[in-house]
Amino acid sequence: MPSTLVFPGGAVILPEAYADGHCGFNSEPDAPVPPGYLTWRPMKITHPVWAVLITCVAMFTQILVGAGPAMLLLDSDDALYRPLGMIGITLASLGLVYVIRRFGRQTWQGVGLTMSWRAVPHLLLGIVAGGAAVAAAGALAVTVGVATWVPSEVARPDLSLLPLSIAFALLSQAFPEELLWRGHLYDTLSARMSPRAVLIVVSVVFGVLHIFSQSAADTPVERLIYPLQAIALGFACAAARWRTGAVWMAVGVHTGLHTGNILFPAQSVNFGVHVVILTCTLTVTGLLIMARRRPTTTGAERGQTLPSPSHGG
């Protein structure tokens, strides 16, 4: 019998003849195994419970690892503080997702970073959808008297700085979080759960984590209400992933939320009601995204994804 690499628990790596180029083991779950060998089984990190827990940990880890060096080495008013921080978070997210999927024997293709001509239109359409939800919520909140518009000379940035503000929202929050939740976790859960269940999980868990986020909430009730808008955002982003089969529109919706807050700032008079209104507009946005029948993704489009971090492009 050819030599093997024995792991705790009795599992072994198959010999070179059965390798697929990924650490010497055959990654096909139904591939034939020669007599006398056991198939190598990864830790059950792709089980829904483990996958959700790992994603939650990774969400905080990518912030600490990505922004940590800038926070430790630079002053907060340094010109490089924010750019290095947002780039670091994006790189940390790419690295973490790659390692998690590598350990779980999942293809990078499943993340949904497709290299298609539709990527940019999907991203821009998502930004418009997310921004429209915020604008509609602000207008409705002002109309019913639970918010007021912030004067433009006070809150709205110089237009020359708007691209930088959008880039910061994109690279520090939207892309890293969507890559993790609507990219990796969505794909992982889809292997074992129904589409409806996947939508619920990637929305609710994502939103609940935002109970730890800073907000204008003053009372315990408002702090409990605040995650509702994050749940609705998660739903709208998950709907975008479901609708397009890729993660770009989800990134756009998430970026659009922050862009809308920059362009249409509203000061809450009644924070709880304002949050409920935004929750409703984001939910409607998600439903509208899902309203049309999901198109069939072509084999060529599915095969074209951004290269994994290990190959650098």
167 with 111, same domain?
Answer: yes
* For range 173-194, the mean pLDDT: 96
91 with 191, same domain?
Answer: yes
C-alpha pair distances (Å), 282 with each of 122, 135, 277, 288: 17, 11, 9, 10
d(CA 180, CA 93) in angstroms, rounded, equals 7
Query: Which residues, in sequence order, are bridge partners of residue 268?
Result: 147
Q: Domain range holding 68?
A: 48-73+82-296
302 found inside a domain: no
Residue 306 pLDDT level (bands cut at 50, 70, 90): low
| pLDDT for position 295 | 54
Position of tokens 């919520």? 137
| pLDDT for position 212 | 78
d(CA 282, CA 63) in angstroms, rounded, equals 25
d(CA 213, CA 7) in angstroms, rounded, equals 41
Check: CB of residue 88 under 8 Å from CB of residue 215.
no
306 found inside a domain: no
**E strand residue ranges, 123-232:** 147-149
Number of structural domains in the chain: 2
225 with 127, same domain?
Answer: yes
Q: Flag whether the pTM goes above 0.85.
A: no
52 with 28, same domain?
Answer: no
| pLDDT for position 10 | 43
Say yes or no to pLDDT of 19 above 60: no
89 with 121, same domain?
Answer: yes
Residue 151 pLDDT level (bands cut at 50, 70, 90): confident
* Nearby residues of 20 by Cβ (< 8 Å), 6 or more positions away: 26, 27, 28
93 with 30, same domain?
Answer: no
* For range 266-283, the mean pLDDT: 94
121 with 175, same domain?
Answer: yes
Give the CA-trace dihedral at 261, 267, 271, 274, to 10 degrees. Answer: -60
310 found inside a domain: no
Say yes or no to pLDDT of 192 above 90: yes
| pLDDT for position 307 | 56
143 with 261, same domain?
Answer: yes
Say yes or no to pLDDT of 220 above 60: yes
* For range 105-125, the mean pLDDT: 93
What DSSP line would sit under 89-115, residue for residue? Answer: HHHHHHHHHHHHHHHTT--GGGG--B-
Higher pLDDT, 239 or 268: 239
| pLDDT for position 35 | 56
* 3-class secondary structure, 151: coil
* Nearby residues of 301 by Cβ (< 8 Å), 6 or more positions away: 114, 116, 118, 245
163 with 130, same domain?
Answer: yes
227 found inside a domain: yes
Higher pLDDT, 308 or 236: 236
d(CA 26, CA 38) in angstroms, rounded, equals 11
- Both structure tokens of 17: 């003849």
d(CA 170, CA 178) in angstroms, rounded, equals 10
C-alpha pair distances (Å), 103 with each of 45, 46, 130, 208: 8, 10, 34, 27
305 found inside a domain: no
* For range 124-135, the mean pLDDT: 97
7 with 146, same domain?
Answer: no
Say yes or no to pLDDT of 299 above 90: no
* For range 88-100, the mean pLDDT: 97
Say yes or no to pLDDT of 301 above 60: no
- The overall longest dimension of the chain from CA atoms, in Å, is 78
Higher pLDDT, 303 or 93: 93
d(CA 239, CA 133) in angstroms, rounded, equals 14
- Both structure tokens of 151: 């004067």
* For range 80-92, the mean pLDDT: 94
* Nearby residues of 120 by Cβ (< 8 Å), 6 or more positions away: 248
The whole-chain average pLDDT of the chain stands at 83
| pLDDT for position 214 | 74
Among 214-218, 256-260, 302-306, the least confident range = 302-306
Residue 213 pLDDT level (bands cut at 50, 70, 90): confident
268 with 158, same domain?
Answer: yes
Kindly report, residue by residue over 23-67, the tens digit of the pLDDT.
444 444 445 555 555 455 555 888 999 999 999 999 999 999 999
* For range 240-244, the mean pLDDT: 96
d(CA 63, CA 90) in angstroms, rounded, equals 9
Given its phi and psi angles, is residue 215 left (phi above 0), alpha (psi -120 to 50 degrees) or beta?
Answer: beta
Say yes or no to pLDDT of 90 above 90: yes
For 73-105, letters b (16+ CB in 10 Å) and e give eeeeeeeebbbbbbbbbbbbbbebbbebbbebb
Residue 2 pLDDT level (bands cut at 50, 70, 90): very low
| pLDDT for position 174 | 97
- Pick the closest to residue 73 from 59, 86, 85 (CA basis): 85
Position of tokens 């060998």? 37
